[in-house]
Every structure is written in structure tokens, then in C-alpha cells.
A and B are shown apart, each in its own frame.
Chain A
Amino acid sequence: MNDSKPTILHIEQLQKHYPVRGGLFGTRQGLVRAVNGLDLNLRQGETMGLVGESGCGKSTLARLVLGLEAPTAGTLLLKSKPLHQWDQPELRRTVQMIFQDPYSSLNPRWKIGSIIREPLDILGQGPASERKDKAARILERVGLRPDDLARYPHEFSGGQRQRVAIARALAPEPELVVCDEPVSALDVSIRAQVLNLLHELQQDFGLTYLFISHDLSVIGHLCDRVAVMYLGRIVELASKQNFFIAPLHPYARALLTAVPVADPTATIRPMPLRGDLPSPLNPPQGCSFHPRCPHCMEICTRETPLLQKKTTGHSVACWLHQSPPTSHSPTPNRRNDK
């Protein structure tokens, strides 16, 4: 449905490896492959939900998209231009973020007005009086009162603080907003308020969201498409309907099974997944999911499956759903963009 919309973010074979240093001379002991060959496309105006367990590299991906970290290898195009070629103010005006914890993401010594105005001041958008007006307008838009500008973060509840964080992110009128677990720290009733607000704002401002969450019910509510991440890679990418009705990857199916259902009469489904996420320091050979996979085959222990289109709007990286390579194994693209 959004197929015609232009691509705002194009990610191809993105890698971010962190060296682990230790020992007497701080020599390199290993490599954490936080993002390890990731492909993803975001279209203008859509909400892409990114799910995965802690440690799968979701937040590292967010930091890469925000330009807070430089990728080790791979392509990251924002509006068709490599991210590292953007100049900082222009990048910050285009991409903004909302963090998980509204208690640590707002400076406790600053008034709400200064917090919301800061990005505008730094980016030098218009004269001071105009910036002040704009801050008041955006604050009202997120459901707070203009006179709250003169108050401090501690005077607000968690849900209100998250509204302030949203106002700050939207003040410079960004096009892409990276939301890293924006409602995870909020209570059920407040979470619903903030989810509604995020959706309204998207409609009003034509925003594109990269929405990171471990909570599939939130993803299912807000997102157009879902990307499932496992140890630094996307293992399934589908429209919301396809994902929730017919997930393909065994890991995606396990995630959906694990979601607790608010219905005491529902039969409790056995959890098909055992064990924890393996360490990204030493990911398993072949498909990184194979040690936990109930359908593991011989090939899974040797070859890494690539993300391939299965049907329209549904891609999966799993040998169950694609034929094994015949002559040679696919070599991942190792272009270095630095």
C-alpha cells in the first residue's frame, strides 16, 4: 500500500563491530558484532516496527541511523545521500529521536521551555521570539499547557515527561523519528495515551517512524511493517498483517507465541524456544538462530541464509523457506563506505 512512496532510509549490509579490548596491553580480544550485515528500507510516512530480544542490536542500529556511531561497513543512505556526507545540523533537523526513559533523557536542571527550544536554538531556526512561540505551540500539541514551559521535569509524571521528550523531538520538524522503546517505561493507561499521540502526530506531520520495541502488542498496534532482528540481522520483514497472521521465521513464530494473551480461557501454548540469545561476541556458525531452532537442519549449521523475498511484502532469512545454494555460498557484500 505504501509501495509507491519514496524511500527515506536505505540500509544495505550494514555492520557495526565493536572491538573488545583487555589484557595487559589492551590488545583486541574479540569483536562484538552488534549489527552484522543488516538490510532495511524505510518508506516515507510509514512506521517500521523493529522487534528483537535485548542484545540483538536494536539500539546500535538506532545509533547508526542517528549518526551517533559510524558503521564499520555497509551502506546507509538517508534520502539517497550517504549519512556521513550529511552535515550535522541538517542531519539533526531531518532525523530526531525519542528515548525509552523520560526520567534520564530530560535535563533536570532545565525548564521545559529550554529543553524544547534547545534544538531550535542550536539549529538557529528563526528569531528568538518565534522559537519561543513554536515551543509553546508544540507543547500544546502534545497535550501539555503553554505555561508548563516554565516548569521543571520533576514536576511532571512519567507520561507527561515522555510528552515533553516527544515535543523536543518534533520541534525541529524532522522527517524521520527513531523511537527507541518510547512506551516501555510507562504504565498501561498512560502507554495508550502516548501511543495515540504518536499516531496523531504522524498523521499531522507526515512523519516516518523507526519504532523499536520488544513489545509485540505495541508493534502490532502502531506499525505498518515489522522487521524482526536477531543477532545483528533482519531475519523477517513483513507487512503487519502478514507478520501477525502468517509469520515465517521460526524465531518470529516463537516471539508471537511468547506474547502473553490477556485471556484466561486461552490455552497456554508451549514455548518452542529454549535458552537465551547467544553472545554477539561469538555468534554461532551458519544461521545464528540454529542452536535454539526447533527446525534446525544440517545446512543451517553451515550456511547463513540471506533475507529473500518470499511473497510480496514478505521476506525471510531461513533455509526452511528458500532453496539451499547450489554451487557457491552467497558472499556478503563487504563494500566499505568509510
Chain B
Amino acid sequence: MVDTILDIRGLTTRFATPRGVAKALDTVNLTVGQGDALAVVGESGCGKTVLALSILGLIPDPPGRVTEGQALFQGRDLLRMSEQELQAIRGNKISMIFQEPMTSLNPVFRVGRQIAEPLMLHRGMNETEALEQAEELLDQVGIPHPHMRVRSFPHELSGGMRQRVMIAMALACEPDLLLADEPTTALDVTIQAQIMNLLAELRERTGASGMLISHDLGVVAGFSNRVAVMYAGRIVELASTVGLYAEPLHPYTQGLFHSLPRPPGKKSGITALTPIPGAVPGIFDRPAGCTFHPRCRRAFARCRGQEPPLFDLGNGRSVRCWLHETTPPAVESQDKA
């Protein structure tokens, strides 16, 4: 068994809104092993991004607050650290790549300066050393003419280049864990392929663990070895990537796969897709019982009345669905023991 680098237990995040308290994350249990690449998949509003922000202590408080649970990073609970302790870890041991390279770079500083900042902060380098290192990092992420590019401002770079700068910044301090929240969503497919190849290559070279948040089952297939599928703030299926793609078990996961257009075969004509009916319920309209039951083709009486626990099917696979009811060893109860 690999060592665990990140162990999330019972993580619950709530937001206070004028309409009441919204539970954006509901008792999430997840582990990322050393060297693992975990993908968190789900549609908008399922809590993927809140999960990443909760781990890093970046939930704006108020209105949000992590109300329960632990996030053990190398054995220490991130949620109980002071802001100072967290700052020593963020951008150093754990770094994050955000979706929008346009908004996550500071427009008034040269990119070299921005990459150098974590190096000066965490590694105690002086400005000259840090800028030299920044140039080296730009070269590593495949930016041509790095000695000129360190002096560029973000607006002088294309979207793909900016995302490379973000990656260079995230890698500056050789993090043990890299969180990437939809890193390629704003990019063209050709640039997406370049960035995902780069991430895989860098992870291989540095041995960093990765956590990728994405809605794209194609991107996830190429990056991860484990997948967590989220729906309405909860994990509904957890499996090895190969296992999940070979045989998705939760009706929601199955629905996601059926919604994907398949590459066209030799015959012409169009076969209709099988979408999931309805839409993801709003955070205040989550139904009782299993939150997926109103959209589920296989729902039965029990699904409407009682929420299923995450059933452990062995082999690192668990499913939150009454169709897969096994004798109780739910992950939640195990963790508390």
C-alpha cells in the first residue's frame, strides 16, 4: 500500500446565504496516495472547486466555513493550522493551478517576478537567484525564449502560454501535491493536449502527487489513476480509473458516459445520445433520500426515502447507491473506528 499524502475525512463545508445555510460539501472522504493522480469529476455545482478551496483554507469566511472534518496533509490537519502555518505550505508543499490563467496572474507584474515570488518567500532566495530560477522554470514548461519571456507581462502572452506560466509558478517550489482545478477548460484542444502532456511529464519527473478537478472524462482518462465522481456535494463513486471506465457502477456515472458523443463510425446518420433527464438540483432543492433519485432511471422506493451510504465493494471501489448494497462496511464508519 502506498503512503497517503492527503487524507480527507468527513469534510463538510457550508455557506451562509440569505436563503439559509447551504451545504456545498457533505461528509467527503478521500485519500491521495504518494505519487497518485486522483481526479475529481462532476458537473458544475457539485462541489469540486469548493473541495479544492476547502483543502487549501481558501474558502472566503464569511460566508463559507468548513464546519466538520479533517484534511490531513502528510499527517497534519490543514484545517486546524493558523493562517501563518498554511502560508508556509501553500505554494510550497501544495500548489494549485486555477482554471482561468487570465485572472489568476497579476496583470501589473512581469511573469518572471510572479514566478520568483514563491521562491523568495519559501526558499529564501534573493531576487537575482529567483529570477534565474524563474527563467529555468519557463524553459521547463516549454516556453520559447525564456530569457525574454521573464520580462513579459501577462497580457503579452496567449492563453496557453499563461497557463504554462501558472504551471511554472506552481512547480517553483517542487510541491509534494499539485492541485489543478480545470486547468485546460479555457484552452483550445491542441493547447489542452500540450498542457496535459506537460503536466503528466512533470509529475513523472518530480514524483509529485496530483489532484485534478475536471468535468471532462477524456482529460481525466489520460491523467489519473483514481477517480472520485461527485454529485450534489457528495462523492457517489470512487474507483480506479481503469475500473471506472471499464464498468461505471453508479447510475449517475453511467449517465455521464452515455451522454458522451461517440466518435463516428463508418456509417452515416446520427444515433441519439442518452442524456440524463432533468438537471442538477439547486443547493436548496436537493431532494430527500438519494440526491440523484429524481433523475435516476433505476430508482425504487428506498431511494426516495433513505440516502444510501458509500458502500465499499473492495479493490478500492465504493458506490453510493442502493443497487450495490453490501453488508454495511461504509467508509464513514470505518474511519471513525
Stretch of B26-34, B55-63, B271-279 at the chain-chain interface:
B271-279
CB pair A220 B264 closer than 8 Å: yes
A122 at the B interface (CB under 8 A): no
B242 at the A interface (CB under 8 A): yes
Interface residues of A in 142-188 (CB under 8 A from B): 157-160, 187-188
CB pair B273 A195 closer than 8 Å: yes
Contact with A along B241-256 (1 / 0, CB 8 A): 1100100000000011
CB pair A265 B242 closer than 8 Å: yes
CB pair B262 A221 closer than 8 Å: yes
B16 at the A interface (CB under 8 A): no
CB pair A196 B261 closer than 8 Å: no
Supply 14 A–B pairs (Cβ within 8 Å), ascending by A. Answer: A187-B215, A192-B273, A192-B274, A196-B275, A214-B189, A215-B189, A220-B264, A241-B264, A260-B193, A260-B219, A261-B221, A262-B218, A262-B220, A262-B257
A263 contact set on B, CB distance < 8 A: 221, 245
Interchain nearest-CB distance for B191 vs A (Å) = 7
Nearest chain A residue, comparing its CB with the CB of B272: A196
**Contact among B194, B221, B262 with A264 in the assembled complex (CB-CB below 8 Å):** B221
**Contact among A1, A196, A271 with B190 in the assembled complex (CB-CB below 8 Å):** A271
Interchain nearest-CB distance for B317 vs A (Å) = 15
CB pair A157 B275 closer than 8 Å: no
Interface residues of B in 255-310 (CB under 8 A from A): 255-264, 266, 268, 270, 272-277, 279-280
A12 contact set on B, CB distance < 8 A: none
Stretch of A72-80, A85-93, A251-259 at the chain-chain interface:
A251-259
Nearest chain B residue, comparing its CB with the CB of A239: B268
CB pair A259 B189 closer than 8 Å: yes
Interchain nearest-CB distance for B91 vs A (Å) = 27
A302 to B208 Cα, complex, angstroms: 46
**Contact among B245, B257, B264 with A221 in the assembled complex (CB-CB below 8 Å):** B264
CB pair A188 B217 closer than 8 Å: yes
CB pair A218 B261 closer than 8 Å: yes
| Interface residue total, chain A, C-beta cutoff 8 A | 51
A271 to B161 Cα, complex, angstroms: 16
B160 contact set on A, CB distance < 8 A: 276
CB pair A264 B189 closer than 8 Å: no
A260 contact set on B, CB distance < 8 A: 189, 192-193, 196, 216, 218-219, 221-222
A224 contact set on B, CB distance < 8 A: 268
A268 to B217 Cα, complex, angstroms: 15
A157 to B215 Cα, complex, angstroms: 18
A245 at the B interface (CB under 8 A): yes
**Contact among B190, B200, B242, B279 with A53 in the assembled complex (CB-CB below 8 Å):** B190
When A and B form their complex, which 10 residue pairs have the shortest distance between CB atoms, in order from nearest? A260-B218, A221-B261, A192-B275, A192-B259, A258-B193, A187-B43, A189-B276, A192-B273, A53-B188, A193-B275
A190 contact set on B, CB distance < 8 A: 43, 275, 279
CB pair B221 A157 closer than 8 Å: no
A270 to B272 Cα, complex, angstroms: 32
- A-B pairs with CB below 8 Å: how many? 142
Nearest chain A residue, comparing its CB with the CB of B194: A271
Interchain nearest-CB distance for A108 vs B (Å) = 18
B262 contact set on A, CB distance < 8 A: 217, 220-221
CB pair B222 A268 closer than 8 Å: yes
Contact with A along B194-226 (1 / 0, CB 8 A): 101100100000000000000111111110100
Nearest chain B residue, comparing its CB with the CB of A251: B190
- Given the interface pairs A270-B197, A271-B193, the reply to whether A188 lies near B222 with Cβ below 8 Å is no
Nearest chain A residue, comparing its CB with the CB of B282: A157
CB pair A195 B261 closer than 8 Å: yes
- Given the interface pairs A259-B218, A276-B160, the reply to whether A264 lies near B264 with Cβ below 8 Å is no
B189 contact set on A, CB distance < 8 A: 53, 214-216, 255, 258-260
**Contact among B190, B216, B261, B263 with A258 in the assembled complex (CB-CB below 8 Å):** B190
A268 to B188 Cα, complex, angstroms: 18
B245 contact set on A, CB distance < 8 A: 262-265
A196 to B196 Cα, complex, angstroms: 30
A116 to B101 Cα, complex, angstroms: 36
CB pair A189 B188 closer than 8 Å: no
- Given the interface pairs A196-B273, A261-B218, the reply to whether A217 lies near B193 with Cβ below 8 Å is no
Contact with B along A1-19 (1 / 0, CB 8 A): 1000000000000000000
Known A192-B259, A221-B264, A261-B218; further 12 A-B contacts with Cβ < 8 A: A188-B215, A189-B43, A192-B276, A217-B262, A222-B270, A260-B196, A262-B221, A262-B245, A266-B222, A268-B197, A268-B200, A276-B160
